[in-house]
Amino acid sequence: MVIDNGNIIIVFDGYCVLCDNFVKWIAKKDKYNKIHFTTFESDYINKNYSEIKLKNSVVVINSKKIFFKKSEAVILCLKTIDYNKTLIAILEIIPKTILDIGYSLVAFFRYKIFGKKKICSLPNTIISEKILS
């Protein structure tokens, strides 16, 4: 699979209910079909990006194979779907360290607050062409 310029891959925790809901929401808003999805445990990641391991962060890979994590990944997702430009501008002026602390706190408690699925999976609401397995 070749990721064209401007497209991204979102690598997320397939066990995490919060991550699952975030991915569903992003997929629904992706009106330009710029985003592909996969989990940390997928064959696609194991074959192409074996250095990526499940941590307390979503990882976004752009067309230049640059990795984005934590708040940078979320902001890139929002930009890719042309989400609220005011919100993006606000997030971009907040220091990255502060955003990442907030992100890390949510990530650390995500299973306790939102729950954990028994098996690693992708949401079944995502169009199969967008899934990298």
Is the residue at 3 inside a domain?
A: no
Q: Is position 111 within any domain?
A: yes
Q: How many domains does the chain have?
A: 1
Q: Is residue 130 part of a domain?
A: no
- Is residue 2 one of the residues assigned to a domain? no
User: What per-residue confidence (pLDDT) applies to 3?
Assistant: 64
Distance CA 133, CA 128 (A): 10
For residue 128, is it within any domain?
Answer: no
pLDDT score of 37 = 93
The rounded percent of the chain whose pLDDT value lies above 70 is: 96
Burial of 89 (0-12, 13-18, 19+ CB in 10 A): exposed
Amino acid (1-letter code) at residue 71 = S
Please write the tens of the pLDDT for every residue from 94-112. 999 999 999 999 999 999 9
The candidate with the shortest Cα–Cα distance to 12, out of 61, 65, 66, 63, is 61
The structure's pTM equals: 0.90
Which DSSP string corresponds to 63-111? Answer: TT--EEEHHHHHHHHHHHTT--HHHHHHHHHS-HHHHHHHHHHHHHHHH
Range of the domain at 36: 8-121
pLDDT, residue 126, reads 79
Pairing outcome for strands 35-39 and 8-12 = parallel
Q: pLDDT tens across 35-71, in order?
A: 999 998 889 999 998 888 777 788 999 988 899 999 9
What is the average pLDDT across 86-95? 96
Residue 131 forms part of a structural domain? no
Does 127 fall in a domain? Answer: no
At 32, which helix (H) or strand (E)?
none
129 lies in some domain: no
Burial class (CB in 10 A: 0-12, 13-18, 19+), 29: middle
